[in-house]
Amino acid sequence: MGSQHLCKPVHGGDVWKAAQRWGIALDEILDFSANINPLGPSPQALEAIESNISQLTHYPEPCGDSCKLALAQHLGVDKANLVLGNGGSELIYLLGRMFYKGRLLLLAPCFSEYGEGLENPRVVRIALDADKQFRLPLPEIREALQPGDLIFIGNPNNPTGNLFKPQELLELAAYVQDVRGVMVVDEAFLDFAGRELSISQEVEHNPHLVVVGSLTKFFAIPGLRLGYAAACAEHIKRMEFLLPTWRINTLALAAGRASLADVAYMEKTIAFVNQERQLFIERLQELPFLQVFPGVSNFLLIDAEKSGLTADEWQERLGPRGILIRNCSNFANLSPYYFRIAVKGRDQNLRLVEALKQVK
C-alpha cells in the first residue's frame, strides 16, 4: 500500500499538496480553504513561544493545568469542568467513542469530523434548508431523537456559518437530557461571533451536554494544535483517564496562555473580521453567478450553481493562480456547486473576487 493511502482525507488547508500540484511556492499560496484568524497569532503568543524554546528539554505539564486555568477564566467555567486536547478534533473523536451507543444524529451539512473514529456508525442526518438560511430544525430533531442518541451540533455551524440561538440549543439540550442522550455543541468558531453566546457554563450540572472548543482558529495557531472540552466533572475525569498524558506540547501551552491574556488582540480580531466580512459579502454579491450565505464567523458559504461550474471546476481554474477554496461537495446535503471561503485581509479578499471574475 502506498504511503499516500495511509493518511485520512484532509478537509482543508492542505497547502503542501497544492504547492506540489501547481508548482507554486508555499508562501505564495492564498489559502481560502482553512478558516484561520487573518491577523495571524497574537504577538504575545509569538513572544511566549520564543521564550519557552529552552523548555523543550523537559516534558510539558501532564494535563496542561496552567493553560487550563487561563481558559477557565476566559470561558467563565470551573477548571474542574475542562479538559485540553491536541486540537479540538482529538476530543471530538474521543467523545464519539465515549458516548456512541448505536445512533449518531448529525445536521446536514455539518463539520465532516463529527463521528469520525467510530467504525461504521449508524448515522441519522437531519437536513438544513438553504432556503431557510440553514436555521436549526428543532421539531425535526426532536422527532428524530431516540433514547441514547449522540448528537453533534456546530455553533456557528460549519460550513454554513450561521449561528443558532443559545436558547434554542438549551431547549434542545433539555430534550436530549429527557431521552438520556448526549449532545455535543462545537463552539470552535464562536469567539468570532461573541463569547457571550457560549453555553459552556451549562455543562456543570448537565451530564448530557458537552461543549467542545478550539484555540487554533481564533488565535491562529493550527500548527500547534490546541482545543478543549467543557463537561461535568465526572466526564472530565474519565476523559483525562482515557487521553494520553503530555498530549499538549510546551509551546502550545505557552501560546495558549499568552493568547488568552491578550484582550486587545481579541477585540481587534472581532472588529477586523466583522468589517472585512461585510465588505467581502458586498463584493461577492455583485457577482451574479454566485449566491453568498452571510455567516457570523470568519468564513462564507457560496453556491455557484448559477455559474454552471462545480466547486471542483472553480478550484481547477483558481489553483494555477495560487488560490485555494474549500470544495464542499463532500458535505451531506450540499450539491457539487458549493464551496467555502475564509475571510482574510482586504487585499486578499479582493484578489479572490477579481480572480473569480476573470476565470469565469
The string of pLDDT tens digits covering residues 111-160 is 999 999 999 999 999 999 999 999 999 999 999 999 999 999 999 999 99
- CA gap 43, 221 in Å, rounded: 12
- Specify the CATH class of 43-262 in words: alpha beta
Q: Which of 111, 83, 21 is nearest to 301 (CA)?
A: 111
Biggest distance spanned by C-alpha atoms of the chain: 57
DSSP string, 269-324: HHHHHHHHHHHHHHHHHT-TT-EEE--SSSEEEEE-GGGT--HHHHHHHHGGGTEE
pLDDT at 1 > cutoff 60: no
Three cell numbers written together for 256? 495558549
pLDDT tens per residue, range 314-359: 999 999 999 999 999 989 999 999 999 999 999 999 999 999 999 9
**Angle, helices 346-359/311-318, rounded to nearest 10 degrees:** 110
- Amino acid at position 78, single letter: D
- Amino acid at position 201, single letter: Q
Three cell numbers written together for 176? 436530549
For the segment 221-226, the average pLDDT, to the nearest whole number, is 96
- CA gap 172, 136 in Å, rounded: 10
| pLDDT level of residue 8 (50, 70, 90 thresholds) | low
Residue 90 pLDDT: 98
pLDDT at 12 > cutoff 90: no
Residue 16 pLDDT: 80
Residue 195 pLDDT: 93
Residue 20 pLDDT: 86
- Amino acid at position 227, single letter: G
Q: What are the backbone dihedrals phi and psi of residue 315, each rounded to the nearest 5 degrees, phi first?
A: -65, -40
- CA gap 168, 157 in Å, rounded: 14
Q: Which of 56, 50, 41, 80 is nearest to 260 (CA)?
A: 41
Q: Are strands 299-303 and 291-293 parallel, antiparallel or unpaired?
A: antiparallel
| pLDDT level of residue 25 (50, 70, 90 thresholds) | confident
Three cell numbers written together for 20? 506540489
Residue 3 pLDDT: 43
DSSP string, 32-50: -SS---TT-S-HHHHHHHH
Q: With b meaning 16 or more CB within 10 Å and e meaning fewer, what string describes 44-65?
A: bbeebbeebeeeeeeebbebbe
Q: Which residues pair with 184 in a beta bridge?
A: 152, 210
Task: Return the CATH superfamily for domain 3-40+264-359.
Answer: Aspartate Aminotransferase, domain 1 (3.90.1150.10)
Residue 2 pLDDT: 43
pTM for the full predicted model: 0.94
Cα angle, residue 242 at apex, residues 169 and 77 outer, rounded to 5° = 40
Question: What is the Cα 163 distance to its own chain's centre?
Answer: 13
pLDDT at 49 > cutoff 90: yes
pLDDT at 274 > cutoff 50: yes
- CA gap 65, 75 in Å, rounded: 15
- CA gap 235, 232 in Å, rounded: 6
User: Do 96 and 104 meet the contact criterion of CB atoms below 8 Å apart?
Assistant: yes
For the segment 180-201, the average pLDDT, to the nearest whole number, is 97
Burial of 122 (0-12, 13-18, 19+ CB in 10 A): exposed
Three cell numbers written together for 279? 465588505
- Amino acid at position 334, single letter: L
pLDDT at 256 > cutoff 70: yes
For the chain, give every domain's residue range: 3-40+264-359, 43-262
Residue 15 pLDDT: 81
| pLDDT level of residue 13 (50, 70, 90 thresholds) | low
Cα angle, residue 108 at apex, residues 95 and 217 outer, rounded to 5° = 60
pLDDT at 196 > cutoff 60: yes
